[in-house]
Amino acid sequence: METIIQTTACCKTDPGLRRSCNEDTCLVQNESGYFLVADGIGGAAAGEIASALFAKTAAEIFSSTGSRSSEESLQLVKNSFLTANSRILADIAATPARAGMGCTAELLALHANGFVLGHIGDSRTYRLRQTILTQLTKDHSLVQQQIDQGLINQEQARNHPMKNVILRAVGIEEQLAIDIIQGQIFSGDLFLLCTDGLSDMVEDKQIQEVLLTEELLTDKAARLVDLANAAGGRDNVTVALIEVR
């Protein structure tokens, strides 16, 4: 029988300095081996409801604990995204005032042989392995599309006036295209799931420096949130840290 890898995890979410409402949500479940962050979109159209629906759906689908194969993990991740997508659309149909709500999301599932990561939108997942920080996901955004086409560089992207235009989100269309990333895990790997409230405000080098410290995970998460707010705190900021033991 395969067993869920042992982990230590925490998450922290903060409204930031300029938003009255926090539309982000996060969830870490060591026993069930899944972890997520979601960033609601739609503002007055109830983005916080969409992100909460995503988290609630994942919690229901990953409700069982115990051993899980890579194939089972993959199916659970896909089902979480697809079911949440249907539920958000159904909620909008029942409450038209919420039209336009949705969420970006990162959902990480660990199993004995590695990890399965589902990704949609401009939230991100990073992995620190030994001393090397790697961004595992690619933003589904207009700015990233322009980078890929060679129209702008990374520095121009950071202050681009359309940097918040995303091309994919949960709950916007009936057909949902999910990025699935899979890989091995090793003892000492540290995963960071975050909303764009962190990645838009804090450089990867600063993130790496915090993750390399000997502090507790909870202190690292707090420091990352503090850095985002110190840089202006323009958006809600949410981080989840998962360390493989």
Environment class of 159 (CB within 10 Å of its CB; exposed 0-12, middle 13-18, buried 19+): exposed
Mean pLDDT for the chain overall: 91
pLDDT at 240 over 50: yes
* Predicted TM-score (pTM) of this structure: 0.93
* pLDDT attached to residue 155: 67
**Cα gap 72→64, rounded to integer Å:** 12
| Cβ neighbours of residue 177 closer than 8 Å, sequence gap 6 or more | 120, 168
pLDDT band at 1 (very low <50, low <70, confident <90, very high): very low
Question: In 3D, which of 87, 135, 79 has the Cα closest to residue 107?
Answer: 79
Pick the more confident residue, 43 or 86.
Answer: 86
| Amino acid at residue number 109 | A
- 116 - beta bridge partners? 109, 182
For the segment 202-213, the average pLDDT, to the nearest whole number, is 97
- Using one digit for the tens of pLDDT, what is the confidence trace for 90-129? 999 999 999 999 999 999 999 988 999 999 999 999 999 9
- Which domains does the chain possess? 7-133+167-244 (3.60.40.10)
* pLDDT attached to residue 218: 98
**Cα gap 93→77, rounded to integer Å:** 25
Pick the more confident residue, 159 or 81.
Answer: 81
Question: In 3D, which of 243, 123, 125 has the Cα closest to residue 182?
Answer: 125
| Cβ neighbours of residue 122 closer than 8 Å, sequence gap 6 or more | 39, 104, 139, 140, 141, 144, 164, 166, 196, 199
- Using one digit for the tens of pLDDT, what is the confidence trace for 15-58? 999 888 999 999 999 989 999 999 999 866 689 999 999 999 99
- Using one digit for the tens of pLDDT, what is the confidence trace for 133-190? 999 999 997 777 777 777 777 766 666 666 677 889 999 999 999 999 999 999 999 9
